[in-house]
Structures are given as C-alpha cells and as structure tokens.
Structure 1
Amino acid sequence: MINKPTLREAVSDADYAGFGDLISEYVVWCRERYAADPWLVDMAFSYQSLDRELEQLRVSYGPPNGRTLIALDANRVIGGVAYRVIGPDTCEMKRMYVRTNEAGRGTGRLLCEALLELAAANGFGRMVLDTSRDMTEAIGLYRSCGFIDCAPYVDYPERMQPMMLFMEKALEAKQ
C-alpha cells in the first residue's frame, strides 16, 4: 500500500523555500525534457519572469494574491501547486510539480483537486492554466479533473503560441 502524502497550505518561509526548490527542480526537468528545443524553456521562463517570481513566492502565491499547497512525506516537500488571482472571479493554476522519484502515488491528483477546492472555497468561479502541448501526462490529469480547452488568456511570444495549450474549469462553491 502506498502512503498518501500530507497536503497543507504554505505559511512559513520554510514552506515557500521548499516550494521554490520544487520549481527550480521543475526547470531542470523541463530542460531535460525539451533538450532538443532549449529555446522553448528559456523563452517560457524568461517571459514569465521566473527569476523574479522565485525571489517573491510569498507575494506571488500567498494571500491575498494567491495560495500555495505543498505535499509532504515525512516532513519533506515532494510536490506543490499554487494559484494566483488574475481577475475578480478567476485564478490561474501555477507551478504544479511532483518530484519525479515520487511519481505514481497520486500526489499530482491530490494537489490539483485540493487546489480546485481551495479556490472555490475562496470564492473563485473559474480556474485557468496553461501548459505545453507536449506535457501529455499533465494534460491527462487536468482533463480528468474537469479542465477543458479554452481561448488563450495570456499573450505569449508568437514563436511559443503553437506550443501552448490553455485550459479552464468552472468552480462551484461547496455548500
């Protein structure tokens, strides 16, 4: 039997540092996955101002601008995801990543479902996300959680646009 990780909202500097370490690991993973197209990784993270984001994770993904969830196993951060506010009724899922050596435990699904519930509980009616069209595993997870394709909500550089997929999910507050 596989132990499920513990999920909780990031609150401390250590929590955000652990989330930042995950994002940095994700960038390395992306560089390996897209070794044939390094321009894509460079352009995507440069366009998203990742360096600045990493310096201010609590501001970008903490209240009131967003929320961050981390997955822990024996007090070690093994996965994370965040949302940020992009409109009065809309938030954007960002930085979903589970360490590759932790794959297969359902952590990604737990994080995705918990973030959807948290966003709905915080009054959002819609969550959006973008991902590379090549991220088939992530796309499968998002579709299984109820996300559908939508029109672009971010204007990426022209060279990147054919590589990007935009998705959305309507959120319903729990009674």
Structure 2
Amino acid sequence: MTFTPSPASALSVRRTTVDDPLARPLLDELAYEYNLRYGSADDLDRYPPEEFAAPGGAFLLLLEQGRPVAGGAYRRYDDGTAELKRIWTHSAHRRRGLARRMLTVLEREAADAGYTRIFLTTGPRQPEAKGLYLAAGYRPLFDVSADPESIGPLPFEKHLETPKP
C-alpha cells in the first residue's frame, strides 16, 4: 500500500522493521512514556520483531520530510484479526491528527492483508488513546463508565470493510 501525501502535508508512509534505526527515536520516547505512566516499558519487548513483519504483520512509520513523526504496527491475533500495537506520535508533533492518520493507514494495510477485524488494547493511564479509538469508531470491550484503573488494559475492536477487487 502506498500513501500519497498532499503537497502541503509532505507526509509519507514507510513500511519497515521494529529494529530500523529510523524508528528508534519514536520507540525510545514511547518507552520513556510507559515508564512515566506505568513504571515499566516491558510491554515493548513482549513480542519478537518478526511478529510485525509480512505476511501477518507490519511496522509502519509516518514520515514528514524524511523524519519519523508517528508510527504503528499490527500483528496477527487470529486468522481474521490483526492486533494494533505501538501507535505513537512524537511529542513534538502532537495535536496534528497524525495518530489518526497512522490508525487509518494501519486499518487499510490490515484490510489489504485480508484481516476483517482489528483488536487492540491501551493502558488505563492513556486517556488520549482511549479518546482516539472511540472517536475512530472502535467498540470498547469494557464498561466505559468504570474507573479505567479498575479494568487494566482497555480492549477495543473494530470490524473492517474488506477491499473490493
């Protein structure tokens, strides 16, 4: 899949790997944020890099003038479901809709790969992520009126439109 940026945006998408040096600043900042909010970034090491590689997964960077401003990945969760992970916008580039763009690209990529459903979890101390997923049409698989801290990871799902041939 190729994302064609408008001339004004100068954004492009790069399919790459978790260990690409270009991704390191985003992943380092994500680890720092996890440590601040949760006291640990262990979740970033839970899955081997191959899980985010084709054919079952993808690791993508959103680049602006060749520099990473956001990223995200998906991995195979089950035969019809992709699990989104590592969606992150660099702190210097927030409030520009970049996470939403990354989410849209990941959904399109997953649908193109044959997935019909997306599953994801976000942490209870990430209200921005919870808001993003709700605004993007994800169905919460938890009681949204409950204290997020009492739930733990907040699961969401979304059914994808299958691409037309």
Common fold, TM-score beyond 0.5?
Answer: yes
2:77 aligned residue: 86
Aligned AA for 2:118? M
Q: Distance in 2 between matches of 1:170 and 1:118?
A: 14
Q: Distance in 2 between matches of 1:13 and 1:60?
A: 10
Q: What are the within-5 Å matches in structure 2 for residues 21-40 of structure 1? A: 21-32=25-36, 34=37, 38=39
TM-score (norm 2): 0.80
TM-superposed CA distance for 1:9, in Å, is 3.5
Q: Distance in 1 between matches of 2:46 and 2:21?
A: 14
Q: RMSD over aligned Cα, in angstroms?
A: 2.3
- On the 8 A contact 1:9/1:67 being kept in 2, the answer is no
1:167 aligned residue: 156
Q: Which of 49, 62, 74 matches 2:53?
A: 62
Q: What are the within-5 Å matches in structure 2 for residues 71-150 of structure 1? A: 71-150=62-141
TM-superposed CA distance for 1:20, in Å, is 3.8
Q: Which of 8, 11, 15 matches 2:13?
A: 8
Q: Distance in 2 between matches of 1:82 and 1:116?
A: 10
- On the 8 A contact 1:4/1:107 being kept in 2, the answer is no
SS at match of 2:28: helix
- On the 8 A contact 2:18/2:52 being kept in 1, the answer is no
TM-score (norm 1): 0.76
TM-superposed CA distance for 1:145, in Å, is 1.1
SS at match of 1:173: coil
Structure with the larger helix share:
1
In structure 2, relative to structure 1, the CA distance for the partners of 1:13 and 1:145 (3 Å cut) is closer
Identity of aligned residues (%): 26
Q: Distance in 2 between matches of 1:51 and 1:74?
A: 29
SS at match of 1:4: coil
Stretches of structure 2 lacking an aligned partner (at least 5 in a row): 1-7, 143-148
TM-superposed CA distance for 1:5, in Å, is 5.1
Q: Distance in 2 between matches of 1:129 and 1:5?
A: 29
